A and B are shown apart, each in its own frame.
Chain A
Amino acid sequence: MELLLKVESLTKVFGRGCEQCLSLTGKDGNRCPICGSIVACADVSFELHRGEWLGILGESGSGKSTLLRLLNLELEPTKGRMLVNLEPYTGLDLLSISPYSRRLIRQELFGIVYQNPIHGLRMEVSAGGNVAERLILMGERRVEKIRERVLALFRRLELPEDRMDELPSSFSGGMQQRLQIAKAIVNNPPILLLDEFTTGLDPSVQAGVLELLKEIMFELGISAIVVSHDIGVINFMTHRVLVMNRGRVVEHGLTDQILEDPQDPYTQTLVHSKL
């Protein structure tokens, strides 16, 4: 399987930090007893391959959303590397380039769907405009092309075409999530980042969004990093999983292996707590 992204020792400490932050946290908590800083992510390393869906499982506060924000280059890491294996950026460490270049490359490489649509959509911009905006940011200026692409995505994601000019705030929760997905994939990024994207949706809407995403996964051959505390979502949507606790990856493996034969005490408690 072709390697897309290699993440090495990604670490995020909130606060001033000290030399002992990493060594003194992790077992009992993630607040450093010396300087009071919070270690949200500590030495997280993994690889993502083409077409692969990687889950990040953990309870609230385990550091999984911070990890996703680091991957989406929204947060400045304390240390770590993110090496891309895609032309024309092969070998580039995304964390070593200027914030401006980072923003541009981020648009090209990643699409993100947030738990709360407020973070992923501009509520004062029309639904169609939200999707089109990303294409324009990528340099597309031909209005007809933009319109065609937005329309095609509205159809694909079962969004009502006649509501394209309405504000996203008038959409239902499920429609807002589908609109976020449309926005995330409009420029065919190779990697999709999904942050608790089904939380808050009722079960039938959730099932619809999951089905649609799975179809898109096959159609586009896209890879994804799926952050969730929902074991069902992780089970059906991912091939491999990293389990996080107190900012650390405590276990990783094939999804069914992690869910059926967890080795770490934390993972065992997490998995066996599922209703």
Chain B
Amino acid sequence: MLKVRSLSKDFKLHNAGKEVCVLRDVSFELPQGKTLFLLGPNGSGKSTVLKCLYGTYKPTGGSALYRSSLWGEVDLFRLQSVQMHQIRLKEIGYASQFLQVLPRLSTLQAVAEPLLYLGVDKKKALSMAEGVLLKLGIERELFDQYPRLLSGGQQQRVNIARAIVKSPRLLLLDEPTASLDEHSKKLVIETLQELKCREMTMVVVSHDRELIDVLSDLELRMGDGHVDF
């Protein structure tokens, strides 16, 4: 499903006149339906791997061969932005550590949005969003609130809901349980387990041992921008 070869990422900072190397020679393979955990200390480049896969960061080198339903095998690092946009809409879900939505969009609308981009009827999209939010323990009373007014843990679950509502083939999650209480964490873990049973392929950055124990098929330990063996 996903073969990453020799991924490297440098940030060239023109004003400061320097280059910062964040990733060196990261490689892994992930079969369909399996979950890979990226482990390692802060600053080891785990989130950068996710952002490179999602196209938010431009990798400096390497390839990411992904078997898409749209066009068969493609190299995510070499797709034109139009194609990457399309593949994201249909096949890749990404929940970063921070929720970013239009300031006055309601929580329910924010979660329905990825479906509207796919042309799903508004009523159906809202009902699907409702289902996912309830599953993640976001109460109905919060549906019409602005996501920015929600607590950190609630925002995190809204972010996960936005990523999974369209049932992507590839799900990228950055610290999905970092600010959750025990009950919310349990709901997130159950939801992700269900997705795993439905053959969703996942790459997860996490330090949460409980989450790792339940979901992990493969683990990649990173240290200082490269894979530690």
A→B interface (CB under 8 Å): 1, 47, 49, 51-52, 207-208, 210-211, 214, 218-219, 221, 235-236, 239-240, 252-254, 256-257, 260-261, 263, 265, 268-269, 272
Cross-chain contact B15 with A257 (CB below 8 angstroms) = no
CA distance A268 to B20 in the complex (A): 15
B-side interface size class = 20 to 34
- B18 interface contact, C-beta 8 A: no
Residues in B neighbouring A221, C-beta threshold 8 A: 119
Cross-chain contact A1 with B82 (CB below 8 angstroms) = yes
Cross-chain contact A265 with B56 (CB below 8 angstroms) = no
- B85 interface contact, C-beta 8 A: yes
Cross-chain contact A265 with B104 (CB below 8 angstroms) = no
- The 18 listed contacts between A and B (C-beta, < 8 Å) are A1-B82, A1-B85, A51-B117, A208-B104, A210-B102, A214-B102, A221-B119, A236-B101, A252-B81, A253-B58, A254-B84, A256-B55, A260-B57, A261-B58, A265-B14, A268-B13, A268-B14, A272-B15
Whether A268 contacts B81 in the complex (CB less than 8 A), given A218-B116, A261-B57, comes out as no
Other-chain contact of B104, A211, A252, A254 (Cβ < 8 Å): A211
Consensus secondary structure, chain A interface: helix
- B34 interface contact, C-beta 8 A: no
Max chain B C-beta neighbours (<10 A), residue from A240, A256, A265: A256
CA distance A221 to B116 in the complex (A): 10
Other-chain contact of A254, B85, B105, B117, B122 (Cβ < 8 Å): B85
Residues in A neighbouring B105, C-beta threshold 8 A: 211, 214
Max chain B C-beta neighbours (<10 A), residue from A210, A221, A261, A265: A261
Other-chain contact of A211, B15, B58, B102, B116 (Cβ < 8 Å): B102
Cross-chain contact B122 with A218 (CB below 8 angstroms) = yes
CA distance A15 to B12 in the complex (A): 38
Whether A257 contacts B116 in the complex (CB less than 8 A), given A210-B102, A211-B102, A265-B14, comes out as no
CA distance A257 to B82 in the complex (A): 13
Cross-chain contact B81 with A254 (CB below 8 angstroms) = yes
Residues in A neighbouring B81, C-beta threshold 8 A: 240, 252-254, 257
Residues in A neighbouring B116, C-beta threshold 8 A: 218
Residues in B neighbouring A253, C-beta threshold 8 A: 58, 81
- B72 interface contact, C-beta 8 A: no
Q: Mark B48-59, 1 if CB is under 8 A from A, else 0.
A: 000100011110
Other-chain contact of B12, A1, A51, A263 (Cβ < 8 Å): A263
- Apart from A1-B86, A207-B103, A218-B116, list 9 A-B contacts with CB within 8 A: A207-B104, A210-B102, A218-B117, A219-B122, A221-B119, A263-B12, A263-B58, A269-B15, A272-B15
